[in-house]
Structure 1
Amino acid sequence: MKHGDPLSALEDWVAPLLNKLAPAERRALARQVGQALRRSQAERIAAQQNPDGSAYAARKPSKARQQKGRIRRTMFEKMRTARHMRMHADEDAVTLGFLSRTSRIARVHQEGLSDRVEAGGPEYRYPRRELLGFSDAERASIKDLLLDRLNS
């Protein structure tokens, strides 16, 4: 067990209980947990918040976004949709992540890496914005879903 990692502690606590469930029941539970996580992650991204509750670093000012008549979108508006944020669940695990080009963009922001602003354009070091991560509320939600399933 990793010390100080609440998710590992939850996993160690629940593993013996999950082993008592049939594979079909574990798969259904994993799907339910995955859907709840995808929904809560999307809501947090829409609120422009890191998992710890702090706000995302603001966008760098741009003349293009200030022009009259331009469409103004919040950061990651399309990325938080189910089309881009994919969930996979089976009896052993739940995976939540982004696909193809979206995954590269998400990784750059998640880890605060450098990338080109546009093809052939200047390189920019993006501030760290945690798109995927567990908040305390999400950990509690997972625990509640597990307990509800095990009690039924």
Structure 2
Amino acid sequence: MDSQFQLDSLETWASALLAKLAPAARRAVMRDIARELRRSQQARIAAQRNPDGSAYEPRKPRSKAGTKKLRGKRGRIKRSAMFPKLRTARYMRIEADENGLAIGFIGRVARIARVHQFGETDHVAPGGPEYRYPARELLGFTCDDRELIRDM
């Protein structure tokens, strides 16, 4: 099923219920939903999962001298979680008012998040080579997120 269609049907369903509330109550409900959705997104990013449940594509191993060592004992590559700071409330912000809510990234990390969200090409380091990053969906709705919105 198309995710845009699911989002539109959820919006239609929720807007009918929210129209019955006073603006202050709508703002409070939107803020609560936004906080819960942010928690859900943070947990999913920490688990390194896309909204469809598939795992993020792992990092490409570094090979340049002078960079942080990625090899542990016996030659195994260390796998550290990606995006540890992106998922913090400092960078993943919510905006909620009586008309809607938004969850997104702010500042310089917004560009990094966009590159990974859509699998764009970017420089590995300033002045460095370009690399096409695989799509790792940082923000998106899961089935549990839709249920969470319906239950609230």
Q: TM-score, normalization: structure 1?
A: 0.88
Structure 2: gaps (5+ residues):
73-77
CA RMSD of aligned residues (A): 1.9
Q: Distance in 2 between matches of 1:141 and 1:16?
A: 17
Matching of residue 24 in structure 1 with residue 24 in structure 2: yes
Partner of 2:123: 116
SS across alignment from 1:134: coil
Which of 105, 112, 115 aligns to 2:112? It is 105
Residues 3, 42 of structure 1: CA spacing in aligned structure 2 closer, same or farther, 3 A cutoff?
closer
The CA deviation at 1:6 is: 1.1
SS across alignment from 2:31: helix
Partner of 2:75: none
- 1:1-152 pair list within 5 angstroms: 5-63=5-63, 64-66=68-70, 73-145=80-152
SS across alignment from 1:66: coil
The one-letter amino acid paired with 2:146 is R
Q: List per-residue Cα deviations over 1:101-134 (Å, max 9, x = no partner).
A: 1100000000000000000001000000000000
Q: TM-score, normalization: structure 2?
A: 0.88
The CA deviation at 1:14 is: 2.2
Instruction: Among all aligned residue pairs of Structure 1 and Structure 2, give the percentage whose two residues are the same amino acid.
Output: 55
Structure 1 outlier segments of 4+, above 4 Å: none
The one-letter amino acid paired with 1:49 is R
